Amino acid sequence: MGCERCHGGDATTFESMLAHRNVLNSANPASPVNRRNLSTTCGTCHAGPFVAFRKSQHFALLEKGDSRVPVCSTCHGAAGYSRPSARALETQCAQCHGPNRIAPRAERAEAARVLYGALHESRDLMKTTRSLVGRVSDKRRRAELDEAYQQAEVPLVQAVQAGHEFVYDALKERLSVARQRIEALLGQLANPKP
């Protein structure tokens, strides 16, 4: 993926002036990377998170012109490659939801930290589990474990989507289901059938 996918310009040339022709500064309301347009730009590749974000109260406020609401780059950085820590998310949320802020609901920032901490931990467990499943040599057993892995992955993906909607009750519920399935899978790995 080149710069032109998000910023525009001409990727067919190495000539700097020609490559940057028609690239708009992010402050320009017509720029694809302007705050108001950024989620749509990111959504061209990241459709799931974009659809979820469009359902959020934050997106509704963004559409009304509120410049304080989070957009993709708020959590994922300017190039969209960052996956923030739970503590960083809490700090970000507290910018608006902390005491004496524009939308004071301090419990939201803390809930974000706790839930995203659990989400990161679950993702790490899934990575470990994937590696363990890959080591199983019996094809039939490995197929069963692959199926169980996929069944654990579904609610984890749904939890991430709920996070992009900022619906923490749904995130918590999906994460709980994912954790149950991950633990069951780890149990299958630890205690193979005779």
3-state secondary structure 62-103: HHCCCCCCCCHHHHHCCCCCCCCCHHHHHHHHHHHHCCCCCC
Give residue 194's pLDDT band: very low, low, confident or very high (50, 70, 90): low
Cα–Cα distance for residue pair 167/164, rounded to 1 Å: 8
Q: Hey, where are the domains in the chain?
A: 1-82, 86-194
Over residues 69-97, the pLDDT tens digits come to: 999 999 898 877 788 899 999 999 999 99
User: Please, are residues 54 and 166 in contact by the beta-carbon 8 Å criterion?
Assistant: no
For residue 79 the two structure tokens come to 């190039």
Q: Band of the pLDDT at 131, cuts 50, 70, 90?
A: very high
What's the pTM value of the predicted model, to 2 decimals? 0.84
Read off the tokens for 136. Answer: 């199983």
pLDDT tens track for 176-186: 999 999 999 99
- How many whole angstroms separate alpha carbon 36 and alpha carbon 43? 13
Please tell me what DSSP assigns to residue 81: -
